[in-house]
Amino acid sequence: MSTIPDDLSYTKEHEWVAGIEDGLTVTVGITAYAAEQLGDVVYVEVHSEVGSTVAAGDAVGEVESTKSVSDIFAPVGGEVVEINSAVVDNPSLVNSDPYGEGWLFRVRVEEEPEDLLSAAEYTALTSGES
């Protein structure tokens, strides 16, 4: 059973969003559940550049594991303000510390997110899938 921290918000695409309650800048990553499903992550790319504006649901990058490749989506709309270069250099951080050093990017929120999930809702989603 993978961990699902209570203090984060989640998406159906298995990303987590931190800091949403402040309404300013949020941090985005992929969940421990998604990291386990992917297996060893070997490549992370966020192709939306710092300073660019993204809309909620936009594909902003990709994450590759040994067996598969998946899109990374923007869970909220706004300006990309930071990309985690550490995870680009060392993609295994997604597996080893998905909620910490494995974060992917930060967005200054401009568009109120609508359909984020609570930890309880995300737990229900993943227990249905596994």
Partner 1 sequence: MSRSTPLRGVHESLGATLTDFAGWQMPLRYGSESAEHNAVRTAAGLFDLSHMGEIFVVGAQAGEALDRALVGHLSVLAPGRARYTMIVNETGGILDDLIVYRLDEDQYMVVANASNYALVARELADRVRGYDARVTDRSDEYALVAVQGPRSAEILTALTDADLDDLKYYAIVPGVVAGTPALIARTGYTGEDGFELFVLNEHAVPLWNALAEAGKDAGLVPAGLSARDTLRLEAGMPLYGNELSAAITPFDAGLGRVVRFDKPGDFVGKAALERAAENGTRRRLVGLVARGRRVPRHGYPVTREGAVVGEVTSGAPSQSLGRPIAMAYVDEGALEKGSLAVDIRGSQEPVDVVDLPFYRRSK
Q: Is 82 helix (H, G, I), strand (E, B) or coil?
A: strand
* Burial per residue of 5-16, b for 16 or more beta-carbon CB atoms within 10 angstroms, e otherwise: eeebbbbeebbb
Least distance in Å: CB of 102 to partner 1? 15
CA angle 98, 130, 65 (to 5 degrees): 45
Residue reference for tokens 């993943």: 126
Which CB, 3 or 21, lies closer to partner 1? Answer: 3
Which CB, 7 or 43, lies closer to partner 1? Answer: 43
Least distance in Å: CB of 36 to partner 1? 8
Which CB, 2 or 123, lies closer to partner 1? Answer: 2
Which CB, 36 or 111, lies closer to partner 1? Answer: 36
Least distance in Å: CB of 43 to partner 1? 5
Q: Computed from CA positions of residues 109, 88, 45, 31, in that sequence, does the dihedral angle turn out positive or negative? A: negative
Residues that bind partner 1 (CB under 8 A): 36-37, 39-40, 42-43, 45, 62, 64, 66-67, 69, 95
